[in-house]
Amino acid sequence: MEAKGIKGFKDILPDDIKKWHFLEETAKEVFENAGYSEIRVPIMEFTEIFSRSIGEDTDIVEKEMYTFQDKSGRSITLRPEGTASIVRAYIEHGLHADPQPTRLYYLGPMFRYERPQAGRYRQFYQIGVEALGIDEPLLDAEVIMMLWHLFERLKLNYLELQLNSLGCKNCRPLYIKTLRNYLTDKLPLLCPDCKKRYEVNPLRVLDCKREQCINAVANVPGIFDSLCPSCKKHFDEVKGYLRELSIPFVVNQKIVRGLDYYTKTTFEVISEKLGAQNAVAAGGRYDGLVKDLGGPPTPGIGFAIGVERTISLFKNTPPEQKPLIFLASLGNSGQAFSMKLARQMRDAGIKVELGYGDSLKSQMRKADKSGTGYVLIIGDEEIKKGSAILRNMRTKSQENIPFGSVFETVTKRLRPEAQPEGLSDNI
Ligand code: ATP
Ligand code: MG
């Protein structure tokens, strides 16, 4: 048997996980400070939850879903995105009865059967938010502000926020008509997929990544001339708030998104550093979705951040936050002492790594590799003398510390500001 993972499914190894934690923790803090609570939904739903919400004629539903029958013959799908499941949960648990907006965030894996390449996987992770129950432009601006704030906290530069409005169920059909008229002449230039999209869902043509189609729609009429007065007003107000908040954006009338449920405000954040897969986050309003999935008419807005693409923009590994000490010890009593000390220091929030191996020399080599600032050495000699050696790995200086005061002294050296609580009596 060959130990080999599935194509497009990636392992995230310990060397990379610090970046993941940094993104996850920063996002949690930013979202929770804005009143969002985490929701965890299953990674599978009945297939119709996705096909109904994302739309039958979209690439995701047509080509990209991992769908199978479970043992009772129901059609089940691994989630290709988070919004549909969260809206299903919002309806199922009656969250619309709470004071609105309901503010939720989530993180986890999504699954799409796409062609794996840089920045595109078959299992990938998203961190996202959904705010339901309010249709005011102020909420659109707050949600976008939060996304921008997160990217600022992550110190990511060279990002561009692109903004569009997709209108509502009243005015979008007008634009689709205009678009189809325009595309009639261009039909021979379009790819086979887009020829079909022209019939069933011409908006999708604007989202096609093929060069022939990008060229064919270069001068397509924008949607703004088709927007109804209320969608126009909504979009103007969102832009007004963003200007007031000094959040830079550009308007791109070709952002149609690959999912059918979007209405009014839609947006993407793209990075010029990412090559072909350049979108790091995307989102928008979905004022018809709750009703489409069987709930009461309820507006909503949200976004999803692509975790792998965002992390690929990090220049450095985030610094280790916790102080670390390495305990190198020999013999039964030395190792038992180390183990008890380790438990006590870990309790006090210090990261403690125990050395394994039958010589102090090999343990010191491991200590060196661990990047620790200090090593506490307890060899046979030290046990005899009743004191340990604390070695500062940066300055190479050493000091002898009697066993009775090891905890206090080490805690002080590692965290000069902390007040040790005299726990050494227990050792
Ligand atoms: P793309 O245009 O790159 O196909 P999308 O419009 O399909 O993206 P969304 O459904 O809006 O993507 O998902 C939001 C974010 O999730 C994207 O901006 C991207 O960062 C990330 N993402 C989407 N699909 C993948 C994938 N297959 N692998 C890795 N990240 C992905
Ligand atoms: Mg896609």
| pLDDT attached to residue 320 | 74
The rounded percent of the chain whose pLDDT value lies above 70 is: 97
Own/partner long-range contacts of 410-418 (Cβ < 8 Å, ≥24 apart): 410/325, 410/345, 410/350, 410/374, 410/376, 411/345, 411/348, 411/350, 413/374, 414/323, 414/325, 414/350, 414/373, 414/374, 415/323, 415/350, 418/348
- Whether residue 260 lies inside any domain: the answer is yes
Residues 300 and 353 in one domain: no
CATH of the domain at 64: 3.30.930.10
Residues 376 and 274 in one domain: no
Residues 342 and 254 in one domain: no
From the CA of 255, the nearest ligand is 1
Residues 300 and 354 in one domain: no
Residue nearest to atom 21 of ligand 1 (CA): 306
- State the distance from the centre of ligand 1 to the C-alpha of 81, rounded, in angstroms: 9
Closest ligand 1 atom to 306 CA: 20
Residues 6+ apart with CB under 8 A from 55: 61, 201, 259, 260, 261
Ligand 1 contact via 88 beta carbon (within 6 Å): no
Segment 40-69 shows an average pLDDT of 95
| pLDDT attached to residue 393 | 93
Residues 343 and 399 in one domain: yes
Ligand 1 contact via 309 beta carbon (within 6 Å): yes
Count CB neighbours of 402 within 10 A: 12
Segment 350-354 shows an average pLDDT of 94
Ligand 1 contact via 307 beta carbon (within 6 Å): no
Q: Please, are residues 330 and 378 in contact by the beta-carbon 8 Å criterion?
A: yes
| pLDDT attached to residue 416 | 64
Helix (H) or strand (E) run with residue 390 in it: strand 387-392
Residues 274 and 155 in one domain: yes
- State the distance from the centre of ligand 2 to the C-alpha of 207, rounded, in angstroms: 9
The rounded percent of the chain whose pLDDT value lies above 90 is: 84
pLDDT digits (tens, 9 = 90+) for 283-303: 999 999 999 999 999 999 999
Residue 280 confidence class, pLDDT cut points 50, 70, 90: very high
- Whether residue 66 lies inside any domain: the answer is yes
From the CA of 63, the nearest ligand is 2
pLDDT digits (tens, 9 = 90+) for 301-323: 999 999 999 999 998 887 777 78
Residue in 66, 120, 254 to alter for ligand 1 test, most ligand atoms within 8 A of Cβ? 120
pLDDT digits (tens, 9 = 90+) for 100-111: 999 999 999 999
- Whether residue 208 lies inside any domain: the answer is no
User: Nearest to residue 100, comparing CAs of 132, 145, 77, 146?
Assistant: 132
- In total, the chain counts a number of residues equal to 427
Residue nearest to atom 2 of ligand 1 (CA): 279
| pLDDT attached to residue 380 | 82
Report the domain count for the chain: 2
| pLDDT attached to residue 385 | 92
Ligand 1 contact via 280 beta carbon (within 6 Å): yes
Residue nearest to atom 15 of ligand 1 (CA): 306
Cα-Cα-Cα-Cα torsion 55, 59, 61, 66, nearest 10 degrees, comes to -160
- Whether residue 416 lies inside any domain: the answer is no
Among 261, 287, 311, identify where a domain stops: 311
Domain coverage including residue 36: 14-170+228-311
- State the distance from the centre of ligand 1 to the C-alpha of 147, rounded, in angstroms: 16
Q: How many CA atoms lie within 13 A of 380 on its CB side?
A: 3
Residue in 126, 209, 286 to alter for ligand 1 test, most ligand atoms within 8 A of Cβ? 126
CATH of the domain at 376: 3.40.50.800
Residues 135 and 281 in one domain: yes
AA letter at 334: G
User: Given a cut of 80, is residue 239 above it in pLDDT?
Assistant: yes
pLDDT digits (tens, 9 = 90+) for 114-152: 999 999 999 999 999 999 999 999 999 999 999 999 999
- Global pTM value: 0.91
d(CA 343, CA 348): 9
- Whether residue 423 lies inside any domain: the answer is no
Ligand 1 contact via 270 beta carbon (within 6 Å): no
Among 286, 311, 336, identify where a domain stops: 311
Residues 87 and 139 in one domain: yes
- Whether residue 421 lies inside any domain: the answer is no
pLDDT digits (tens, 9 = 90+) for 200-211: 989 999 988 899
Residues 266 and 333 in one domain: no
- Whether residue 319 lies inside any domain: the answer is no
AA letter at 92: E
AA letter at 226: S
Is residue 370 classed exposed, middle or buried when 0-12, 13-18 and 19+ CB atoms within 10 A define those classes?
A: middle
Count CB neighbours of 221 within 10 A: 13
- State the distance from the centre of ligand 2 to the C-alpha of 366, rounded, in angstroms: 44
Q: Please, are residues 388 and 374 in contact by the beta-carbon 8 Å criterion?
A: no
Residues 59 and 135 in one domain: yes
Ligand 1 contact via 282 beta carbon (within 6 Å): yes
DSSP states of 315-362 as a string? -SPPPP-S-EEEEEE-HHHHHHHHHHHHHHHHHTT-EEEE--SSSHHH
Residue in 277, 310, 313 to alter for ligand 1 test, most ligand atoms within 8 A of Cβ? 277
Ligand 1 contact via 304 beta carbon (within 6 Å): yes
Residue 421 confidence class, pLDDT cut points 50, 70, 90: very low
Closest ligand 1 atom to 209 CA: 2
| pLDDT attached to residue 427 | 42
Residue 259 confidence class, pLDDT cut points 50, 70, 90: confident
Q: Please, are residues 203 and 284 in contact by the beta-carbon 8 Å criterion?
A: no
- State the distance from the centre of ligand 2 to the C-alpha of 176, rounded, in angstroms: 21
- Whether residue 129 lies inside any domain: the answer is yes
Across the chain, what does the average pLDDT equal?
93
Residue in 121, 156, 259, 309 to alter for ligand 1 test, most ligand atoms within 8 A of Cβ? 309
User: Given a cut of 50, is residue 98 above it in pLDDT?
Assistant: yes
Residues 24 and 130 in one domain: yes
Interior CA angle at 267 toward 281 and 233, to 5°? 155
Among 275, 290, 311, identify where a domain stops: 311
Residues 6+ apart with CB under 8 A from 108: 40, 43, 82, 125, 126
- State the distance from the centre of ligand 1 to the C-alpha of 306, rounded, in angstroms: 6
Ligand 1 contact via 279 beta carbon (within 6 Å): yes
User: Given a cut of 90, is residue 57 above it in pLDDT?
Assistant: no
Residues 149 and 112 in one domain: yes
